[in-house]
Each structure stands twice: as structure tokens, then as C-alpha cells.
Amino acid sequence: MNQILKFKLDGVECMGYKDQYITNAAAENGFYIPTLCNIPGVKPRGACRICNVRVNGKLMTACTTPLANGMVIECQTEELKDLRKAIIELMLTEGNHFCPSCEKSGNCELQALAYRFNITVPRFKYQFPERDIEASHPKLIKDHNRCILCKRCIRVIKDEQGRNIFAFGKRGNRITINIDTELANDISDENARMAYEICPVGAILLRENAFREPIGKRKFDHVPIGIEMERFHK
């Protein structure tokens, strides 16, 4: 049995285990710490910083920080709420997010966080960058306009021999995440679907799959993201 640790989250006494990440421990105690790049059970990457919390006063990403005994964690302070909101607004303006025509709308985690944070208009200027759509693969479409570089696809989707189907193209601020053309030709149906599902936004699309669910039946039409984890919230 793992060693039990005590910590405080927004003033509430909580318990967790040694080697548990803060996000998971928080969820088990009934708190939702917003995440975006993180996938429970997969090695965290700390790519988006939505999960920013203050640990003993210091800004840390909750998805990559293991619990320690006596930690004092702040999550829902005005400062942190605004910081998270600002990150979502940056993502919405940095790429091209035309939600009304997006196949992932209603099931998109970026959009769902924007809803949860009550964003009606971003504070930043829309950039409208020039981005490509890779539409030549047999089962998948990669839309760079919507990719938020969370690297979920790189971390999760591998072929039978463990090779990465998604990989970095370019570097620095021109960075893209591309599909390996050869491996994409042989991708299994199961892996293709998983890639579509693992992508939090509409950047990986499964062919012949768009707009299957009517408005009103989609994941975030009626309930905010994260609500299933919450016993204490707001």
C-alpha cells in the first residue's frame, strides 16, 4: 500500500498517496483542477499549463507535480482563474477556431473550458495564422488550424511495433504536429478512432464521421467539463 499523505486544497484538508500527481489526488478528494493536455494514466507532459496551481505559494503544473506531505495548494483563486482563462483565450486566438463549422464542436475540450470559464470574447487579438490541412491520409485528416500542440497524440498513438504515428514537424514557433504519411497509410481502424478521440480539439478528424451527433446530444451541450469530479467547486 502506498504511503498516505495529507495536503490542503483551497483550505480543505485532503488525503492522497505518495507518487500521486496533484490533479489525480484532487479528483479523488472531489476537486476538479482544469486540465487540457493531460490524460490520466499517461505520462504527463505539462504542455498547456491550464492546470496551474500555487503549491506552497509557487506556481506549478498540477498534472506533473507529485504530491508531498503537508502541501498547501491553491487552485480557485481569482489570480489562477484569470491565468487559466487567459491561456484558453490565447489558444482560441493563436489558431483558427471557427467553432460553428468545426466537426468537434460540442465535444471539444478547449471549447468546453472556454464555456466553463465564461469566455464570451477573448482579450487578445485574433491572429488568423496561415495553416495547412493534411487531407491526403486514407483514414484521418489533420487540421493544423485547430492543433493546440498538446502532444496527446504523440504520447498515445503508436503502431503495433511501438512506432509513433504522430511526430513533430518544424521547430520553435513554427512547430507543427504531423502524421507520418507511411504509417498513416497502414493505421488500424481502432488506432484511427483512438487518435480522433484522444485529440481534445478538432485537429485530428476521422473520415466519414463528422456531425454524427446532433446539437443537444453532444458531450458538453448540457454539462460543464469536469463536473463529474466535483464535490467542492467554484
User: Contact residues for ligand FES (CB under 6 A)?
Assistant: 35-38, 46-51, 61, 63
List, in sequence order, every residue forming a beta bridge with 158; answer none if it has no partner. Answer: 164
Give 28 or 180: the residue with its C-beta nearer to ligand FES: 28
User: Whole-angstrom Cα distance, residue 90 to residue 123?
Assistant: 8
- Per CB under 8 A, does 226 bind another protein? no
Residue 143: which residues within 8 A CB-CB, separation 6 or more?
131, 133, 134, 202, 203, 204, 205
Q: Are 169 and 177 in contact (CB under 8 A)?
A: yes
Binding residues for ligand SF4 restricted to 203-232, rule: CB under 6 A: 203-204
CA atoms within 13 A on the CB side of 103: 20
- Per CB under 6 A, does 177 bind ligand SF4? yes
- Tell me which of ligand SF4, another protein, ligand FES, none is bound by residue 151, counting a contact when its beta carbon lies within the kind-specific cut-off of 5 to 8 angstroms: ligand SF4
What's the full length of the chain, in residues?
Answer: 234
Q: Which stretch binds ligand SF4 (CB under 6 A): 56-64, 92-100, 130-138, 212-220?
A: 92-100
Q: Which stretch binds another protein (CB under 8 A): 19-27, 71-79, 94-102, 192-200?
A: 94-102
Q: Are 201 and 104 in contact (CB under 8 A)?
A: yes
**25: left (phi > 0), else alpha (psi -120 to 50), else beta?**
alpha
- Per CB under 6 A, does 150 bind ligand SF4? yes
- Tell me which of ligand SF4, ligand FES, another protein, none is bound by residue 157, counting a contact when its beta carbon lies within the kind-specific cut-off of 5 to 8 angstroms: none
Residue 155 CB, shortest distance to ligand FES, in Å, is 12
- Tell me which of another protein, ligand SF4, ligand FES, none is bound by residue 63, counting a contact when its beta carbon lies within the kind-specific cut-off of 5 to 8 angstroms: ligand FES
Q: Which of 131, 133, 136 shows the shortest CA–CA distance to 181?
A: 136
The residue behind cell 504527463 is 44
Residue 189 CB, shortest distance to ligand FES, in Å, is 29
- Per CB under 8 A, does 124 bind another protein? no
Residue 100 CB, shortest distance to ligand SF4, in Å, is 8
Q: Which of 128, 111, 143 shows the shortest CA–CA distance to 220?
A: 111
